[in-house]
Amino acid sequence: MDDLLVIIPTRGRPDSVPAILDCWRNTGATADLLFAVDDDDPMLAGYREHMEQINQPGIHWVTGPRLRLCGTLNEAAVAMAACYRFLAFMGDDHRPRTAGWDERFRVCLSGGPGVVYGNDLLMGEQMPTAAAMTSDIVQTLGYMAPPSLVHLCLDLVWLDWGRGMERITYLGDVVIEHMHPANGKAAMDAGYQECNSSEQATADATAYYAYRDEGGLEADLAKLRALVEEVA
């Protein structure tokens, strides 16, 4: 079993591939990477071109039907959970900046079930826009985020899980920079327009509150607390 896999669902941004790989080299990261690309992506040829140029162990990519961010992440995480001790999510607009960030994540998660996240320079401690967790969480729940979500509010769920388990760590000195229009670090492209539309924000917020307040969260936390007790 390998230790840490970072899953990056991506659409419409093939140039994110070399940019992220530059971050891996600059920070000395040894975590494996999995780019998950939609097979109907209009820029699929650009992804293929970049991936064909990569001659680096531990860098993988998969294509499949468009499931949106949460669906794509869940499909990859469930498929890979038995192969890795730890699973992480990053968006294609996250950029690790701190040397040894992945080793810090490993250390934090090595004590048992839990969640860890760094400083994205946008939401900071308030929200884990990129996060890592032990793979037994995914195996226990059958997903890395509730399937009712599409793109937003996954980070709120990870906060709820980590706090509910009393197993969450924020590493403020570990920068996983979020290159987002909200902080002026990215242009508002079609992908941002779609996922940050008022309709999508309302739909995901409604799904999140239903999960949090109508029994879904409490049922998941019961499983996760039992997992913590089991491995203690």
pLDDT of residue 1: 55
DSSP H/E element including 33: strand 32-38
Q: Which residues pair with 94 in a beta bridge?
A: 178
Instruction: Determine the straight-line distance between the first and last CA of the chain, rounded to whole angstroms.
Output: 21
Residues in the chain: 232
The answer to whether residues 216 and 97 touch, using CB atoms and an 8 Å cutoff, is: no
Average pLDDT over residues 140-154: 98
Q: What is the pLDDT of residues 157-196, one digit of tens each?
A: 999 999 999 999 999 999 999 999 999 999 999 999 999 9
Domains, the chain, ordered by start: 2-231 (3.90.550.10)
Q: Is the pLDDT of residue 111 over 80?
A: yes
Q: Is the pLDDT of residue 213 over 60?
A: yes
DSSP-assigned letter for residue 55: -
For the chain, what percent of residues have pLDDT higher than 90? 97
The answer to whether residues 107 and 27 touch, using CB atoms and an 8 Å cutoff, is: no
Q: What is the pLDDT of residues 52-103, one digit of tens each?
A: 998 889 999 999 999 999 999 999 999 999 999 999 999 999 999 999 999 9
Any idea which residue has 């941004």 for tokens?
13
The mean predicted confidence, pLDDT, of the chain is 96
Q: Is the pLDDT of residue 145 over 70?
A: yes
Average pLDDT over residues 36-63: 95
The answer to whether residues 165 and 228 touch, using CB atoms and an 8 Å cutoff, is: yes
Reduce the DSSP state of residue 29 to 3 states and report it: coil
Average pLDDT over residues 207-223: 98
pLDDT of residue 55: 81
Torsion of CA 203, 204, 206, 209, to 10 degrees: 180
Sheet containing strand 59-64, edge to edge, reads 59-64, 32-38, 2-10, 84-89, 131-134, 115-119, 168-178, 94-96
